[in-house]
């Protein structure tokens, strides 16, 4: 049985479109992977989240002032490094990009209505910040999952931590540890104290809604976790 004459060209057009779509997606993935390789040595001038906030401010005709200063990991106090790990990814040094226990715990907390943080690791959050912004979709999650092992392989834990602490959103227009310490705590990333660090780490799940001075309970939880982890 032969197909009607009009259906054959449409089928070819669809196949051609899908072929080019696959090529474009593969090219974008390769570009992202090569960018991760470059980030082993090069500090990022901006991220998808930074660009997203600029566009949102422009669309809503709101003023936007970005504070972003990249500093080496050695210039970020261990207090803040440890507080962020304790708050966001307690098994950071044990997993290889995905913390399945944390994902399961987050799902249980969602069901119980008491969730304080997600199940994403620092590596997952870094990849999302760099390439995808704050939007949520299954497609984004799927592509993110393929880039996380690349980040773990080419960057290593210390560089991942350094990048994360420098690009993560810490308030409206505030990105990275140095800008956050100056904006919220009137100090520097090198000099921030233990209590202040815990309060800063406590706002990371919702940096546009939370304020460090209001996070008394959760910052106390983070401090306990730090002590339990030997910090």
Instruction: Give yes or no for a contact between 64 and 53, defined as CB atoms under 8 angstroms apart.
Output: yes
Q: Is 219 exposed, middle or buried (0-12, 13-18, 19+ CB in 10 A)?
A: buried
pLDDT tier, 207 (very low <50, low <70, confident <90, very high otherwise): very high
Averaged confidence pLDDT in the chain: 90
Reduce the DSSP state of residue 68 to 3 states and report it: strand
Compute the distance between CA of residue 120 and CA of residue 106 in angstroms, rounded to an integer: 9
What is the rounded distance in angstroms from the CA atom of residue 189 to the CA atom of residue 162?
A: 12
- 19 vs 190 pLDDT, higher one: 190
Q: Look at residue 72 in the predicted model and tell me its pLDDT.
A: 97
Which ranges of the chain would DSSP assign to H, the alpha helix?
A: 7-38, 48-59, 78-88, 100-112, 122-131, 138-167, 177-184, 194-202, 216-228
- What pLDDT score does 56 carry? 95
The tens digit of pLDDT for each residue in 144-185 reads: 999 999 999 999 999 999 999 999 999 999 999 999 999 998
pLDDT value at residue 114:
56
pLDDT of residue 231: 94
Asked whether residue 7 carries a pLDDT value surpassing 70, the answer given is: no
Residue 112 has what pLDDT?
A: 60
Residue located via tokens 């790990």: 85
87 within 8 A of 204, measured Cβ to Cβ: yes
Q: What digits encode the pLDDT tens for the residues 219-231?
A: 999 999 999 999 9
Q: What domains sit in the chain, N to C, each tagged with a CATH number?
A: 10-61+70-228 (1.10.3810.10)
> Around Cβ 191, how many Cβ atoms within 10 Å?
12
Task: Provide the pLDDT confidence category of residue 200 given band limits of 50, 70 and 90.
Answer: very high
- Checking phi first, is residue 97 left (phi over 0); if not, alpha (psi -120 to 50) or beta? left
**pLDDT value, residue 12:** 82
Whether the Cβ atoms of residue 125 and residue 160 lie closer than 8 Å to each other: no
Q: What are phi and psi of 106, to 5 degrees?
A: -65, -40
Q: Average pLDDT for residues 48-74, to the nearest whole number? A: 95
Query: How does residue 138 score in pLDDT terms, banded at 50, 70 and 90?
Result: confident
Tell me the average pLDDT across 211-226: 96
pLDDT of residue 110: 60
Residue 21 has pLDDT above 70, yes or no: yes
If one compares 112 and 129, the residue with the highest pLDDT of the two is: 129
Considering only CA atoms, which of 219, 183, 216 is closest in space to residue 83?
219
Could you tell me the pLDDT band of residue 94, with boundaries at 50, 70 and 90?
A: very high
CA-nearest of 167, 155, 176 to 33 is 155
33-50 average pLDDT score: 96
- Under the banding of pLDDT at 50, 70 and 90, the label for residue 106 is low
| Mean pLDDT confidence for 102-106 | 70
């Amino acid at each position: 049985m032969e197909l009607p004459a009009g259906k054959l060209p449409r089928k070819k057009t669809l196949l051609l479109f899908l072929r080019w779509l696959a090529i474009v997606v593969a090219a974008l993935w390769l570009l992202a992977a090569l960018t991760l390789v470059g980030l082993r040595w090069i500090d990022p001038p901006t991220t998808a989240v930074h660009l997203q906030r600029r566009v949102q401010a422009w669309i809503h005709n709101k003023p936007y002032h970005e504070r972003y200063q990249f500093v080496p990991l050695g210039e970020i106090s261990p207090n803040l490094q440890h507080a962020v790990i304790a708050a966001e990814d307690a098994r950071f040094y044990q997993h290889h990009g995905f913390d399945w226990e944390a994902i399961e715990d987050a799902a249980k907390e969602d069901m119980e209505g008491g969730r304080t943080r997600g199940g994403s690791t620092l590596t997952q959050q870094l990849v999302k910040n760099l390439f995808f912004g704050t939007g949520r979709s299954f497609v984004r999650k799927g592509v993110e999952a393929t880039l996380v092992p690349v980040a773990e392989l080419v960057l290593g834990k210390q560089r991942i931590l350094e990048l994360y602490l420098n690009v993560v959103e810490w308030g409206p227009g505030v990105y990275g540890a140095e800008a956050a310490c100056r904006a919220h705590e009137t100090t520097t990333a090198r000099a921030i104290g233990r209590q202040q660090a815990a309060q800063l780490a406590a706002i990371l799940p919702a940096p546009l809604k939370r304020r460090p001075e209001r996070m008394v309970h959760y910052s106390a939880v983070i401090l306990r976790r730090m002590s339990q982890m030997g910090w």
